Structure 1
Amino acid sequence: MENQRSGVFVGIDKRGRHTPHNKTSDAALKAIRSHIESFPVVDGHYTRKDSNRKYLGAELNISRMYQLYQEKNKDNLPDTQIVSQAIYRKIFNEEYNFSFHIPKKDQCNICVNYQKETSIGTLTPEKKYIYDKHITEKIRARQEKKADKDHAKENLDTMVATFDLQAVLQIPCSLVSQIYYMRKLNSYNLSIYNLASKHATCYLWSEVDAKRGSCEIGTCLYLQLMSLQRNIKHVILYSDACAGQNRNQFITTA
Structure 2
Amino acid sequence: MFRGGVTESMKTQRKVTDSAPCITLSPTERATMFRVQVLTKKKQLGHTVYLDRRGAAKKPRKYFPELREQIRTQIEQFPVEENRYGRNKSEKKYLSPDLNMNRLYIAFKKKYPQTIATYRCFYDVFKKDFPNLRFARPRSDTCSTCDLYQNKMRCSADPIEKAQIRSSSKKSRSC
Query: Could you tell me the TM-score, scaled by structure 2's length?
Result: 0.42
Structure holding more strand per residue: 1
Larger radius of gyration: 2
Structure holding more helix per residue: 2
